[in-house]
Amino acid sequence: MTIIALAGKGGVGKSTIASQIVRGLSVRGTVLAVDADPNSNLSDKIGFETKGTIGELRDEIIADPAKVPSGMSKQQYVYDQVQRAMTETDSVDLLVMGRPEGEGCYCFINSALKECFVKLIPNYDFTVVDNEAGMEHMSRKVLPQADIFLFVSDPTVTGIKTAGRLSQLAEEVGIEIGRKILIVNNLTGEMPVKLSDAAAEAGFGETLAFPRDIFITESAMESEVLIVPCDTPFGESVRKLLELII
Ligand SMILES: Nc1ncnc2c1ncn2[C@@H]1O[C@H](COP(=O)(O)OP(=O)(O)OP(=O)(O)O)[C@@H](O)[C@H]1O
Ligand SMILES: [Mg+2]
């Protein structure tokens, strides 16, 4: 059971990278893919139709608590419903978080969801969590731990600083992080020394460079589903990342 989480500011390539990690891992074991972005970007990229979202489920229960059948604990009901909302294939199951909660008291349901994750995750060899830029779910600590936390940045000093702040936030909210890795995505050449320095200053011990890849740009013009071949520069970087983390 290995939990891999990704975070980073908007549009830096989290879902692009997450989708190819899910693909790469799916031939090595069972994967729970968690799309924690309200725009359900990851689902599109891995080509899954979404059934329902955790956000919808949460709203339904809050609106009508009587939905929980008598004789069933709320906790069990939430667990069953979460499983019903999942899209399942042979090696990958997808869970979509959907939109974050609105006003009102969501304490119970959030704690039920946390327990749900704790119960679900050990059923899979790998869990991959694609966080949204704002990291609402993360700050509500739905995710208990991340064995590997990938912070994705664009190739700018400012972007790397932001990634450093996000990694601090993840620690502050109490997520147990095993290993932190910075991914500098969209590089058009070698990693500039200034960016390596910025990474070290932001507290990253491990940094990986991911190239800007024309294959991704062209693929996006044709389809939402993304399958990056291993022999492209980006595919090669994904392979190296997987070698490093599993
Ligand atoms: N290495 C790359 N080479 C070329 N294009 C890329 C690369 N990485 C990402 N992109 C493109 O950049 C755009 C944003 O990528 P993506 O949706 O993965 O970012 P994100 O961090 O998940 O964004 P959001 O915060 O909106 O969820 C997409 O159009 C994607 O195709
Ligand atoms: Mg995304």
In this structure, the residue with its CA closest to atom 10 of ligand 1 is 13
3-state secondary structure string, 61-88? HHHCHHHCCCCCCHHHHHHHHHHHHCEE
Using CA positions, which residue lies closest to atom 3 of ligand 1?
212
Q: Of 37, 244, 33, whose CA–CA distance to 124 is shortest?
A: 33
Is residue 35 in contact with ligand 1, taking CB distance under 6 Å? no
Residues 6+ apart with CB under 8 A from 174: 141
pLDDT in tens, 7-40: 999 999 999 999 999 999 999 999 999 998 877 7
Q: What angle do CA 150, 153, 159 make, to 5 degrees?
A: 135
Any ligand 1 atom below 6 A from CB of 213: yes
The answer to whether the CB of 151 is under 6 A from ligand 1 is no
Q: In the prediction, which pLDDT does 117 show?
A: 87
CB-proximal residues (5 Å) to ion ligand 2: 14-15, 37, 41
pLDDT digits (tens, 9 = 90+) for 131-164: 888 766 666 667 778 999 999 999 999 999 999 9
Q: State the amino acid at position 92 in one-letter form.
A: V
- How far is it, in rounded angstroms, from Cα 88 to Cα 85? 9
Sign of CA dihedral 125, 225, 144, 199: positive
* The pLDDT value given to residue 10: 92
Per-residue pLDDT at 211: 98
Q: How far is the CA of 44 from the centre of ligand 1 (A)?
A: 12
Instruction: Walk me through the domains of the chain, giving residue ranges and CATH numbers.
Output: 2-49+91-99+122-245 (3.40.50.300)
Tens-digit pLDDT profile for residues 194-214: 999 999 999 999 999 999 999
Q: Do the Cβ atoms of 33 and 130 come closer than 8 Å? A: yes
Distance from the alpha carbon of residue 99 to the mean position of ligand 1, in angstroms: 20
**Per-residue model confidence as pLDDT tens digits over 103-124:** 666 667 777 778 888 899 999 9
- DSSP, res 202: T
